[in-house]
Every structure is written in structure tokens, then in C-alpha cells.
Amino acid sequence: MATAVIDTQHLDGLPRLCAKTGVPTETAKSQEFADIPGWTLLLIFWGLLPFLIAVGFARRKVRVNLPASGDTLRRLRVVRLGSVAGLALGVGLLVSALMTEESAWAWGGITVALVTLLGGAVAHRVVWVSGRLDRDVLRLYGVHPSFAREVEPLAPRNQGTIRSTRRWTTVLLVVAVVVLCVVLFLVFQQRA
């Protein structure tokens, strides 16, 4: 599989090839990609509500109609159906645990739900493409090589000089978390 880099101003010029399989197609799957600034992650330390408010105001999103073959769309439906069925089974086990007061049913329900979430995420990534919006550049991962070749003209002209800002914000976030952990450790050491 390959990676495609597309300027968001040229999203209307996508080729009519399935992004995952590379076969010609007339069908498409609408998908939304968002760019959430890294600094908003720091607000999670002040609570979930400030974080969600900041993300709501600071994020930039773009909706793309990615070409998808009928077979790919069917595989996506099967993954979604399997995920919903697994979660329903997990919730059912949790409800039966509440009614019978058996902890084994609860652990089984939690396990089924977690395995379903993890398996569904992995399966979705296998049968469809993933992507990331970075300012005005959409990066699609796991695309078919022929789709990637066809969208090369849609890449930004200065693609070589464009670097993802995610690295720096991730580094800043990690440094902030380490500093916070050290401060908390020192505070609790003084109390003990």
C-alpha cells in the first residue's frame, strides 16, 4: 500500500479509481478528516470540557468523497456490522451480569466489547484507507499504488518543504506530561 498527498484545494479532481483497490469505479464514500492543533491536547489536564470546547473551536475539517469500489463498500459494511454485533453482545453480557450479579458475565462483557473495538479498528484499517489533515494537505495512508500515482499531480507544489507540525506538538506534549509527572512526584514525595 502507498501514501497519497493531496492539496485540499484540488479534492474535486480525484481520479475515479477505488482508493483502496485501484479498480475503476463510479461510487464514492464520503469521509471527514480533521486537523486538531496539538496545543488543545494540553487542555485535557484542566478537564474534559475545556478540551472539548477548544477542539470544537480550533479544529479544521474537510469532507472528501473518496472513490470506493462496490467490493470495498461491502467489506466496510461487514466490518461495521461485525463491530455492532460484537458491541451488542458485550452490552448484553453486561446487562446479564447486572441481572444475575455474576462478575464473570461482567468481565466477559467488558472483554468482548474491548476485543470488538480493537478488532473493528484494525479491520477497518485493513479494508479502508486512513488519513490525516495537516493544514491544507491531506495525507491518505494505505491507498492503492495506482491511486497514489494518479493523485500525484494534486499534491502541493512545495511538497518537499512541507513538514508535518505534528512532530513538534507531540514533542511539546510529551515534555509537558513529563514535567507534570515530575512535579506531581515531587509534591507527593514531600507529603510522605
Distance, CA of 150 to CA of 129 (rounded, Å): 16
**Looking at this protein, which amino acid is placed at residue 113?**
A
pLDDT digits (tens, 9 = 90+) for 42-86: 777 788 888 888 888 888 889 999 999 999 999 999 999 999 999
The confidence band for 164, taking pLDDT boundaries of 50, 70 and 90, is low
For the residues 83-97, what does the mean pLDDT come to? 92
H or E element: which one contains 104?
helix 103-127
Q: What is the pLDDT of residue 29?
A: 93
pLDDT digits (tens, 9 = 90+) for 8-29: 888 888 999 999 999 999 999 9
Q: What is the pLDDT of residue 59?
A: 84
pLDDT digits (tens, 9 = 90+) for 126-152: 999 998 888 788 999 999 999 999 999
Q: What is the pLDDT of residue 150?
A: 92
Distance, CA of 32 to CA of 9 (rounded, Å): 15
Strand-pair category, 130-134 with 137-143 = antiparallel
